[in-house]
Structure 1
Amino acid sequence: MSFSSGPLGHTVSMQGKVGGRSWRMELGRPTRDYIAGEELRARAELGVQDDVGAMIINRPLKDALERRAYSMITDTLQTTADPRLPEEMRWLAMYDEIGWEGPPEKFWARYAVLSDQREHALAWVDDPLIDLLLAWPDPAPTPQVPFMIVLLRSKCYLRMQYLPAETSTLEHATAVYTRACENALEVFRR
């Protein structure tokens, strides 16, 4: 894993490898309007089956994006979709929320899992990933802090508000993200 940083107020990035595939994580200005302060975002080209689509999103963000989409659809003054809308809003419309027995109730209270197929969600979101998602170190991000991991078009993405702005948050987000990448490489390898 290596780190680099830009001028003050710009991005800080780190990179690593998972399963022989490179990933990159950046900390910088938000690219989404639902993130305040700094945004942590990661991307890896995994080379897995490109027809798999799945997302883990915290419930408050899912609810906020759904309300926003609904108000746009029902706004009689708006006749076209706003091109600045985040892609995440389309994913919420494309994917069904998937639930299953096993994960603790506190997981389902904090996160939603959406996927194109139930089997994809069950294969990708395993117990160690669930444990990581529930074990944020203190001071921990609250359930309201925007967070999502997306597996789409053979890539894995992470996007979250960097709050609390602590090294432990960054390290844990990296552990969660690399576990999600490892799972995808293991179960969706071409």
Structure 2
Amino acid sequence: MVVKQVKHWLVTRANAARWRPIQEWAEARGAEFTLTRDGLGFQIDQPTAQPGRLRIEWGVSQRSYLPGFELRMRCEMGLHQDLQLMVLCRALMENLERAVFEAYTDTLKTRVDTDTPEEMRWLVMFPKFNNATSQIVRQRYGIVGVTKDLAGAWIDGELSEALAQASQDLLPEGHPFVLMSMRGNLYLRTEMAEADLPRLQALVRLLEIAAREALRVAARLSDNGAWPTTTSIAWTPSTRPGDAS
């Protein structure tokens, strides 16, 4: 027992030192940095972040399609619940589509289970938007939404430029990545074997851009007073996408 406690203390201390630059960056933003109980990960909470409260977590992956460790983020924005949009790595989209197809064709299943992550169910529920202005975005990412118009309005513009730039180094081809607007919030997940400050900062900037664009789309639709209906209420989520969801 004593040996185990000493080992835990050593691991925690070593990781705290390794993540010191991330902690200093977080605290400079007015955020709180804390280690997870096991000392193998961390979380950052920034209530005053713009355009919404920000939670960042790095640790063991909570999704089977993200091996090893992941970075997950949530920006609380109070968006309309029906603003359901997603952009993800195209290779990941194709893998998830195969998994959904297998679930449907499994003789022991008649539908996709309600505990299946939204990112898989949405591939069945929502139409794909394939007309992004950027050729790089069309080639490297899959885009779905409650309507094609909403997906197109969100993806084209500043977010499209940010995704195209990210595809050069931050999110190389085939690197698992999901960005979603749901439950009034914006979520980002990506595989990250080691937490490092430059990549974390770049992904936070990407999330912030996506959040601003989501606000723009939501404001326009609110002004028009025309929200699309969605069948997602028939898929009551039984789980949330991790602690950062």
Normalised to the residue count of structure 1, the TM-score between the two structures is 0.86
- Between the aligned partners of 2:114 and 2:81, the Cα distance in structure 1 is 25
143 and 165 in structure 1: CA distance in 2 versus 1, 3 angstrom threshold: farther
- Pairing of 1:70-149 with structure 2 (within 5 A): 70-78=101-109, 81-82=112-113, 84-100=115-131, 102-103=133-134, 105-136=135-166, 140-149=170-179
After TM superposition, give the deviation of residue 175 of structure 1 in Å. 0.7
- Pairing of 1:27-42 with structure 2 (within 5 A): 27-42=58-73
From the two aligned structures, give the one with the greater strand fraction. Answer: 1
- Between the aligned partners of 2:77 and 2:91, the Cα distance in structure 1 is 28
- Between the aligned partners of 1:99 and 1:81, the Cα distance in structure 2 is 24
After TM superposition, give the deviation of residue 10 of structure 1 in Å. 2.7
- Between the aligned partners of 1:137 and 1:98, the Cα distance in structure 2 is 19
Structure 2: 5+ residue stretches without partners: 1-28, 223-245
Deviates most, 83-92 or 146-155: 83-92
**Contact preservation (8 Å) 1:145, 1:163:** no
- Between the aligned partners of 2:167 and 2:121, the Cα distance in structure 1 is 32
Cα deviation, 1:95-122, whole Å, max 9, x if unaligned, reads 111122521x221111011111122112
After TM superposition, give the deviation of residue 92 of structure 1 in Å. 1.1
**Aligned AA (2:188):** L
Cα deviation, 1:130-183, whole Å, max 9, x if unaligned, reads 221122397533221111111123211111111575422211111110111111
Higher relative contact order (CA 8 A, sep 6+): 1
From the two aligned structures, give the one with the greater helix fraction. Answer: 2
Count of residue correspondences? 188
Which of 35, 38, 42 does residue 6 from structure 1 map onto?
Answer: 35
After TM superposition, give the deviation of residue 4 of structure 1 in Å. 0.7
**Aligned AA (2:34):** S
- Between the aligned partners of 1:168 and 1:156, the Cα distance in structure 2 is 21
- Between the aligned partners of 1:51 and 1:62, the Cα distance in structure 2 is 22
Please give the root-mean-square deviation of Cα atoms over the aligned residues, in Å. 2.3
- Between the aligned partners of 1:145 and 1:52, the Cα distance in structure 2 is 26
